[in-house]
Structure 1
Amino acid sequence: MRGVRSAVGAVAVLGLIAGCGGDSGGDGGSGDPGKAGAEAGAEADGGAAAGPVGTSPVPQAYDGAEGWSQPLEWLAGSTATATPVTVAPRADTVAYLLGTSDASGGSGGYTVEARDARSGDLRWSSGKWTPPPPAEDPSADGAPTVPSVATVVQDGREYVVVWAHGMEGKDELHDGKEVVRLAVFPADGSGDATAPARQVSVPVDAPTGVQVRDGGDGALVTWEPVGSDTYGVSVDLTTGESTAFGYEDLEMPQCGPGSCIDGKVVGAGGDGPVVSMASGGFGVPGGWFNEDFAPEGVWKDPYGDEINGRVTAASPTHVAAAWRVGEGGFDADYIWSVHDARTGELRAEVDCDAEDVAEQGSVWERGSGRTPEMSVSPGGRYAAAGPAAFDLKTGEGVCLAGDGDRKDMHLLSVTDDGTGYGFVTEETEGPQTAVQVDLATGDPEALPDGTDLPYRPLRDTALFLPLIGGGDTPAVQVLHRR
């Protein structure tokens, strides 16, 4: 189904759930406007927003005839896995990238447009921004890549961050340096052709898994630390100062020798980086440790050699995890939980036997090196991580894992009225079945064939990502709630 295919394509870059940013924000790679922008002949000016362009059905809660859209024609035919769009919930704004080309048809750059979510009115637009030239191997899977855009909150203010992975200073006489370049714009800004409030180049050694997102205290830049001494960088958007996290910053003093390995930074708020260990275990080194906040009844190694609890998704404020339950942790059932990223406090839990996801992170992100983002409702009450959804007010949750008869389902987004939207994950060929779930009961309902799903709910609207033009052109579309 067209709607589910387009939404899943965006989430595969996000991550599961944003954070879907995200925590919002898509995740792409380095940019080459010659591949995706200039060859398409796209111009920078998006003009006035059009009316809704999607022809597929949408969930009953949304009015398919009320809203606005912006086709991203410069991405027509692109095989890039990201749709460069983000939402700023506090400003109630949707921001996206447009490709540009020069008058001679040569390689251009990119501009940002930010529109009022409800009316579609243009709030501000940027001048042309040029990403760094791509690294020698900018994409591990060989797919064309484009810059991306994310929303980051710092000191209570939202910023739209445009970013790209590439090389700076490389020429016939210089090797140059590999960087992630950030351009920072206040989400509540105004004006046309505005310049970034700040630009920052973060040195990286990142063959795969580059990700920029809201880390809880500024922008968080992470990658697969293969052969690198740095495992992540937190960037203060107001000063441009960067804090790099190395191997010593990931060491968990609560772990025994060899029991916590292959650490990854998934957040940067509070007293230090929030670290997830591939072997099991997570927390803030020298601060809180996951075993001190484990759900009741989960397995614990009496010898301390193996740490239970594996991160499945993260947001700026929360961490989702899966825990084994049962004697010795073998052939175990699972409990999924959500924890406060700053304190480790257990916020919600649910029994959920989704072993494949618990062991491998997320089926959407398998092998990508990126940490899936949690989907959080605009008001912050509900959160979802793959097959599990949580009510952070009651501390309870629902599980959509298969039970031997019912198929596995994953949630793409959750709304403040306690509704989750997702799809059946076992369908590997052909359209995936879209589902709607009442989070109070956990009862799923199949939606009509071809239903487009809300990718990021906002106050009284939601962002959809339909495919138009025969299915090869993504569009930004915002529809009103009924």
Structure 2
Amino acid sequence: MRQKVVRLTLVGGVVLLALLLLLAVFGGGPDSQGQKGAVPVKRVMPSAGTVTRLTVPPQYTTDRGWEIIGSSPEVAVSHATGRLAYLERLDGNRYRLRTVDTATGGLGWQGQAWRPPDPVHYPRLATVTAGGRQYFVTWSYGKVGDGMTPASTFVSLDVYDVTDGARQRVEVPWSGAPSVSTSGPEIVISDGKANSTLVDPVTGMVSELSADELRYPKGCPACKQLTEVYGQTEAGLLVGGAREFWVRGGWFSRNVAPKGVDRGSGVVTSVGGDRVLARWALAKKAKRAATHELWTVHDATTGKALVSVECHRPAIKPGRYPQAVLSPSGDHLIAGNLAFDLEAGRGHCFEAADGSAHLTLATVTDDGIAYGAENARDAAEALSGVGLPVAVDLANWTVGQLSRNARLPGLEATGVGVFRWTDRQERTRLLGYPRTD
């Protein structure tokens, strides 16, 4: 059943854009309007001089750039436009989405302020692509109530057109902690199991999908065990069971398994853009079947196996697999201690001879440089300064040590690395440093 969700709000248009430009030029904004607690924004154009200088990898220069003071912990980026989105916190526990041009530091459009459901916290932020357009999505989960009746819980989403900030509000009743995927083209809200709700970012239409509508592949009893909705691809909803995975109404992992594996052993570990990272058990007769597994990047639309690499089996399976991260062009992919050059068709597992892995990768750029840290448990730790920072050249898989206090770029867009740090006043700062070349 599809239904149009109420509270559909459109903002944007020529008049609003003109007002935003005037506000940006003359310094207008939350602070100039007398709103207490508004986030200060410091903008420095590349030609205007220096910004706060952090210790960063030598691929970037700190002689010029831009800086935002008081950003949200999460940001989202549109590589198609070079626009980055972040949230600023206002008084009264309200939030506003703002944008910046990563190439110049120029401030772009900003959304209207809103208050998320209780408990109040920074909403999550992501990018989704649908219908040939990109959208920034903010979402939060909580409850509302008037004190007279039991409070209802729901997922609140605000969807913004990347180009002009036109906004839609969608509220989906939900019980229990949600899992939200924006792999596209629809936003998928899941209970972490087999039930899900799909939100079309273009129209705001909502579709509910129950477990009995997942079109389980024939002859796959493991598909109905520990069933989980992972997200969506251009071909349909991506679903997996205890073993094996499939696209609803599309391809089945058993039919696209890479060579040399047990065809019934595939498990989805992560989805990044139009790529799926899966773990496979080697065929029983394989020489290293008892000690190694095969990790494969699949095309999300067709299921085709693109690149594979073997890694030691972990002594203890992780409770959560590392998230796959694509370079802006999609030519490189990293996840934990795995790295893939998709254009060259090569992969590498960074591990010692005994199978121990001490390297975690967090960011990868179009020039084939990945950044991460040794002795960091995950990408979040590496980006926050835990461990020994490194730069990895994916052309030859060499690991180069960086300064011990070097900050790593959280992302790169338009040749500008975006770095995050927290100052002494506990404010999150974003800094954009261009590449040295």
Whether TM exceeds 0.5 here: the answer is: yes
Decide which of 233, 252, 256 is 1:289's aligned counterpart: 252
Check conservation: 1:52, 1:479, Cα contact below 8 A: no
Match of 2:310, as an amino acid? D
Other-structure match for 1:124: 109
Sort the Cα spacing of 1:243 and 1:377 in 2 relative to 1 into closer, same or farther, 3 A.
same
- Asked if residue 98 in structure 1 is aligned to residue 55 in structure 2, the reply is no
- Asked if residue 353 in structure 1 is aligned to residue 303 in structure 2, the reply is no
Work out the CA distance in 1 between the residues paired with 2:345 and 2:129.
25
Larger Rg: 2
Work out the CA distance in 1 between the residues paired with 2:314 and 2:41.
45
Other-structure match for 2:28: none
- Asked if residue 59 in structure 1 is aligned to residue 57 in structure 2, the reply is yes
Check conservation: 1:92, 1:116, Cα contact below 8 A: yes
- Over aligned residue pairs, what C-alpha RMSD do you find? 2.8
Work out the CA distance in 1 between the residues paired with 2:313 and 2:398.
17
The superposition leaves residues 178-217 of structure 1 with CA deviations (integer Å, 9 ceiling, x where unpaired) of 2111112111126xxxxx521101222223xx34342321
Other-structure match for 2:232: 268
Q: Shift of residue 333 of structure 1?
A: 0.6
- Asked if residue 382 in structure 1 is aligned to residue 326 in structure 2, the reply is no
The aligned length equals 392
Q: Shift of residue 465 of structure 1?
A: 1.4
Work out the CA distance in 1 between the residues paired with 2:412 and 2:154.
32
Work out the CA distance in 1 between the residues paired with 2:349 and 2:240.
23
Other-structure match for 1:214: 182
Q: How does 1:448-459 map to 2 (within 5 A)?
A: 448-459=403-414
Other-structure match for 2:203: 239
Decide which of 154, 174, 188 is 2:149's aligned counterpart: 174
Sort the Cα spacing of 1:232 and 1:356 in 2 relative to 1 into closer, same or farther, 3 A.
farther
Match of 1:473, as an amino acid? R
Other-structure match for 1:224: 192
Sort the Cα spacing of 1:461 and 1:48 in 2 relative to 1 into closer, same or farther, 3 A.
closer
SS of the residue 2:302 aligns to: coil
Decide which of 379, 388, 392 is 2:342's aligned counterpart: 392
- Asked if residue 435 in structure 1 is aligned to residue 390 in structure 2, the reply is yes
Q: Shift of residue 326 of structure 1?
A: 4.9
Other-structure match for 1:150: 126
SS of the residue 1:237 aligns to: coil
Work out the CA distance in 1 between the residues paired with 2:319 and 2:352.
17
The superposition leaves residues 61-90 of structure 1 with CA deviations (integer Å, 9 ceiling, x where unpaired) of 1112321111227x7xxxxxxx13111111
Sort the Cα spacing of 1:328 and 1:454 in 2 relative to 1 into closer, same or farther, 3 A.
same
Sort the Cα spacing of 1:189 and 1:45 in 2 relative to 1 into closer, same or farther, 3 A.
farther
Q: How does 1:17-36 map to 2 (within 5 A)?
A: none
Match of 1:97, as an amino acid? L
Under a length normalisation based on structure 2, what TM-score does the superposition of the two structures give? 0.81
Check conservation: 2:295, 2:310, Cα contact below 8 A: yes
Q: Greater RCO between the two (CA within 8 Å, min separation 6)?
A: 1
Decide which of 333, 346, 352 is 2:292's aligned counterpart: 333
Check conservation: 2:70, 2:427, Cα contact below 8 A: yes
Check conservation: 1:56, 1:450, Cα contact below 8 A: no
Other-structure match for 1:89: 79
Check conservation: 2:370, 2:392, Cα contact below 8 A: yes
Match of 1:332, as an amino acid? T
Q: Shift of residue 399 of structure 1?
A: 1.2
Decide which of 401, 404, 415 is 2:351's aligned counterpart: 401
Work out the CA distance in 2 between the residues paired with 1:375 and 1:423.
15
Gaps (5+ residues) in structure 1?
1-40, 76-82, 102-106, 135-143, 191-195, 301-306, 365-371
Matched residues, percent identical?
Answer: 28
Q: Shift of residue 348 of structure 1?
A: 1.1
The superposition leaves residues 128-164 of structure 1 with CA deviations (integer Å, 9 ceiling, x where unpaired) of 1111223xxxxxxxxx842122111111211111211
Check conservation: 1:407, 1:426, Cα contact below 8 A: no
Work out the CA distance in 2 between the residues paired with 1:203 and 1:444.
48
Match of 1:65, as an amino acid? D
The superposition leaves residues 85-118 of structure 1 with CA deviations (integer Å, 9 ceiling, x where unpaired) of 11111110111001111xxxxx230111101102
The superposition leaves residues 383-409 of structure 1 with CA deviations (integer Å, 9 ceiling, x where unpaired) of 112211112223221111333387421
Q: Shift of residue 54 of structure 1?
A: 5.1
Sort the Cα spacing of 1:246 and 1:85 in 2 relative to 1 into closer, same or farther, 3 A.
same
Check conservation: 2:39, 2:69, Cα contact below 8 A: no
Decide which of 256, 259, 267 is 1:310's aligned counterpart: 267
SS of the residue 1:164 aligns to: strand
Work out the CA distance in 2 between the residues paired with 1:54 and 1:117.
16
Check conservation: 1:151, 1:213, Cα contact below 8 A: no
